[in-house]
């Protein structure tokens, strides 16, 4: 059984070292890539004002957070929920830095979350799959056909729900990787007459660095492809044997 938690946070600002705090946290559970309905979600009193720039992004103001639990109040429950789970986070470095800082403030001897959990950073994964283009959560939703109509602001719960859909589609082999549009366009285009070239076409073999990059990408896809992993591993083995 593989247990994953798709996690997101919202904060008062950008820098935990400058005293900014977590104001919302959401973690949605997947077991063997299926949503279970189990969720950890709460707003938090950061014990400081929300910066105007942060408010413009998530729309969560001081009035909403007044009277909510402090992080120290939910730390034990959160740690219990995170136990034995792989963490799936978009731009994981940001969220983990804030959570580690929050646990440190409680006085607990809690090691960094990345040291006790396998972490899948969907931003890094997306950059490998889609180099040279925007890989924000909004861009990925559009790329994979995830409905964004309910999203006026960022929010940890809503963003985690969107990321679940993106993550499952992004790691399901070739599905949602931009091939559907090309296939549909080809199907709608009248076939042109084929002409055999009069001279042999040159064949350019991939060099060492290119081959290694290709193998790394196949491994990354296989690692997240679930039931399709054997197909990608077979492709990987086949390319290793090429001249």
What are the structural domain ranges in the chain?
3-170, 209-240
- Active-site choice (90, 154, 214, 215): 154
Number of Cβ within a 10 Å radius of residue 14: 13
Whether residue 115 contacts residue 26, with contact meaning beta carbons closer than 8 Å, is answered with no
Q: In this model, does residue 243 exceed pLDDT 90?
A: no
Q: Is the dihedral of CA 219, 117, 113, 89 positive or negative?
A: positive
Active site residue 20: no
pLDDT of residue 241: 58
pLDDT in tens, 204-214: 555 666 667 66
pLDDT in tens, 56-85: 889 899 999 999 999 999 999 999 999 999
pLDDT of residue 214: 64
Determine phi and psi for 29, rounding to 5 degrees. -90, 135
Lowest-confidence region among 1-5, 98-102, 104-108, 210-214: 210-214
For a pLDDT cut of 70, what percent of the chain falls above it?
71
**Domain spanning 3-170, CATH class:** alpha beta
Report how far residue 148's alpha carbon sits from residue 138's, in angstroms, rounded to the nearest whole number.
8
Average pLDDT over residues 85-92: 97
Q: Is the dihedral of CA 130, 131, 136, 139 positive or negative?
A: negative
For a pLDDT cut of 90, what percent of the chain falls above it?
64
Supply the pTM of this predicted model: 0.70
Single out the residue of 117, 123, 136, 120 nearest to residue 88, CA to CA. 120
pLDDT in tens, 131-189: 999 999 999 999 999 998 877 778 999 999 999 999 999 998 644 334 344 434 444 44
Tokens 């969107």 belong to which residue?
162
């Amino acid at each position: 059984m593989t247990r994953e938690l798709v996690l997101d946070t919202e904060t008062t600002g950008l820098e935990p070292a400058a005293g900014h705090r977590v104001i919302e946290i959401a973690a949605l559970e997947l077991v063997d890539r299926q949503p279970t309905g189990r969720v950890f979600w709460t707003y938090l009193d950061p014990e400081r004002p929300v910066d105007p720039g942060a408010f413009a992004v998530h729309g969560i103001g001081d009035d909403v957070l007044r009277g909510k639990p402090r992080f120290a109040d939910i730390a034990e429950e959160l740690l219990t929920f995170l136990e034995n789970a792989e963490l799936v986070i978009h731009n994981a470095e940001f969220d983990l830095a804030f959570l580690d800082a929050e646990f440190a403030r409680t006085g607990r001897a809690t090691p960094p979350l990345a040291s006790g959990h396998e972490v899948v950073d969907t931003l890094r994964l997306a950059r490998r799959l889609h180099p040279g283009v925007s890989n924000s959560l909004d861009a990925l939703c559009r790329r994979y056909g995830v409905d964004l109509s309910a999203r006026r602001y960022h929010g940890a719960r809503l963003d985690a729900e969107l990321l679940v859909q993106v993550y499952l589609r992004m790691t399901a082999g070739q599905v949602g990787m931009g091939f559907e549009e090309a296939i549909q366009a080809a199907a709608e285009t009248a076939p042109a007459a084929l002409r055999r070239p009069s001279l042999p076409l040159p064949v350019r073999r991939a060099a060492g660095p290119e081959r290694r990059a290709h193998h790394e990408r196949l491994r990354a896809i296989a690692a997240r492809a679930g039931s399709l992993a054997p197909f990608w591993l077979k492709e990987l083995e086949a390319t290793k044997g090429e001249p």
